[in-house]
Structure 1
């Protein structure tokens, strides 16, 4: 609670932006069926109804209200379809209990049939949610089963579903930054901060960076903003961005050292990043820091 209500702040910012695909209640609901495995959805939503209307389920009705409250919040505030995923284990548990009670004394033959259906459905969808196939084979498989992953962001134009596209290009990007950092004199390296536009880029620097001798990243995106600028003063900053409009307003010197290396399977905007070496920040970094906050 020290930082307020971060999920609410995130959704409020998204609702005012054009970042996420806006889904109707029915579209959001139908995508929940796809996300959880269509074979399991009757068990899950059947138990939701049981929790709401049955006398026996009254004791656990708060589970249903919690789910419906979160569902409504994400629809109204344009949340992504997978934001609701953490709510399903409690519905799965409730559905599992109901399943056992229904088939304990009658129609026992349905138990292995339903189990087979669930496993078979999971096997069909596994390649589109787990990194089992190469990108080329994954796209061919999706065409073969006539499956198209729902878009969650309006700017998503990658060939792969964003779930997979967001896993490509990171180490190539970090190597590009490392080459720039290594080319600096030792005295400049001690002063140089690496600033990224989002937590994906910053996380890649923090994950792969130690192998290449890079310092931790800075960013104004979500939790990175709260971690602040550290001891950096802004004398020298290596900035990842797709253009230098903001940087030229903030620094007295901006040098474009070209685009990062990436993967053809990465998200398009990550492939378009340039590396800017910025020197002589016009105002103290701590004074600038509140202005770099991004909560989308």
Structure 2
């Protein structure tokens, strides 16, 4: 059971909605970048967001430390990455040379409001050196 303020729908049902908004805002944010930067990897916290990107935006490499996605991402070597939320930004920012805010998204039924989207570029450290810290089997 979710511990946060309830949305208009129960969380177990709300998690099945609003993916179109998340995907559209992600795509629009990436398209604000110069053309040479429009093929980043995308890091998300959980398999729900990862699955949505895999399904709706298959042209992008999705990375996540959640469940099976953790094993699939262990050898990733992104030079640029898109991340969501302040905590992810603060985690990844020291590992990249450049970063900038590129947009935000909200999912009314899933309690995700004005979630910032960041673009980071120029990897300073190979991802495998810190990938273990992203593992999440909850």
Same fold (TM over 0.5): yes
Task: Give the TM-score, by structure 2 length.
Answer: 0.83
Which is greater in Rg? 1
Paired positions, count: 137
Normalising to structure 1: TM-score of the pair? 0.42
> Are the aligned partners of 2:32 and 2:102 in contact in 1 as well (CA < 8 Å)?
no
Aligned residue in 2 for 1:174? 23
The aligned residue for residue 11 of structure 2 is 162
2:42 maps to 194
> Secondary structure of 1:159's match?
coil
Q: Which runs of 4+ in 1 moved over 6 A?
A: none
Q: Structure 1 residues 258 and 189 mapped into 2: Cα distance closer, same or farther (>3 Å)?
A: closer
Q: Helix, strand or coil: the match of 1:273?
A: strand
With over 3 angstroms needed to count, the CA separation of the structure-2 counterparts of 1:188 and 1:259, relative to structure 1, is closer
Greater Cα shift, 251-260 or 217-226: 251-260
Gaps of 5+ in 2: none
**1:288 alignment counterpart:** 130
Q: Distance in 2 between matches of 1:218 and 1:272?
A: 22
Tell me, in whole angstroms, the C-alpha distance in 2 between the residues paired with 1:271 and 1:173: 11
The superposition leaves residues 148-202 of structure 1 with CA deviations (integer Å, 9 ceiling, x where unpaired) of xxxx122252221112111222111111111222333443334x11111111111
Tell me how large the CA RMSD over aligned residues is: 2.1
1:242 deviates by 4.0
CA distance 1:238–1:168, shift in 2 (3 Å): same
Matched, 1:223 2:65: no
CA deviation vs aligned residue, 1:58-109 (integer Å, no higher than 9, x gap): xxxxxxxxxxxxxxxxxxxxxxxxxxxxxxxxxxxxxxxxxxxxxxxxxxxx
